[in-house]
Amino acid sequence: MGFISKLLSNFNSGEPKHEQSLPPGWHSAHAAAAAAAKESDKMVLVKLHADWCPVCQGFDNDVSSMPKLSNYLNSQFVCARVDEKSRELKKLWKTHKIVGFPCFLIYSSSNNFLCKVRGYDSADSFIDRLKQAVSLAADA
């Protein structure tokens, strides 16, 4: 396979393919999630992801295996996972002064940036941190 063919095979409808599969219902680009959020009137949660990051992998495993976490995320957000190899991640990294993986960016349904949440430790703690971050952003 030639270089250009290999490069093009890494993209599907403009959204990069990930080595680790996306959680069900997630988008692989912020723009796709933002468009869906506008239609559903939900906030957008963008996870900045690296396949080599064990915490990123743990989060994805929990989303896939823990209904409490996946149900909460799906009820409140349209979610996207942006891969470290994408141009989009590089732009978001610089714009929001990201310092490590995973980092979660939260946007309103009209795609206005609200806040960021760093790291992941457990489903319960993460849900609490998201609720707190969204509440603080709404009060600001």
Give the model's pLDDT for residue 30: 95
Q: Is residue 73 part of a domain?
A: yes
Does residue 71 carry a pLDDT above 70?
yes
Summarize the confidence of residues 72-80 as an average pLDDT. Answer: 95
Residue type, position 113, single letter: F
Give the model's pLDDT for residue 140: 60
What tens digit of pLDDT does each residue of 4-58 get? 333 334 333 344 444 568 888 899 999 999 999 999 999 999 999 999 999 999 9
Torsion 37-50-129-117 (CA) sign: negative
Q: Is residue 131 part of a domain?
A: yes
Q: Is residue 57 part of a domain?
A: yes
pTM of the complete model: 0.82
Residue type, position 96, single letter: H
Report the CATH number that the domain containing residue 25 is assigned in CATH.
3.40.30.10
Q: How many angstroms separate the Cα of 47 from the Cα of each of 2, 9, 50, 104, 139?
A: 31, 23, 10, 4, 23
pLDDT class for 125, splitting at 50, 70, 90? very high
Q: Say how many domains are in the chain.
A: 1
Instruction: Report d(CA 104, CA 115) in Å as an integer.
Output: 8
Give the model's pLDDT for residue 18: 46
Give the model's pLDDT for residue 1: 41
Domain residues for 84? 20-139
Give the model's pLDDT for residue 138: 72
Read off the tokens for 4: 């250009």
Summarize the confidence of residues 100-124 as an average pLDDT. Answer: 94
Does residue 115 carry a pLDDT above 80?
yes
Q: Are 7 and 49 in contact (CB under 8 A)?
A: no
Instruction: Please state, as a whole number, how many other Cβ atoms lie within 10 Å of the Cβ of residue 102.
Output: 21
Q: Is residue 5 part of a domain?
A: no
Q: Is residue 134 part of a domain?
A: yes
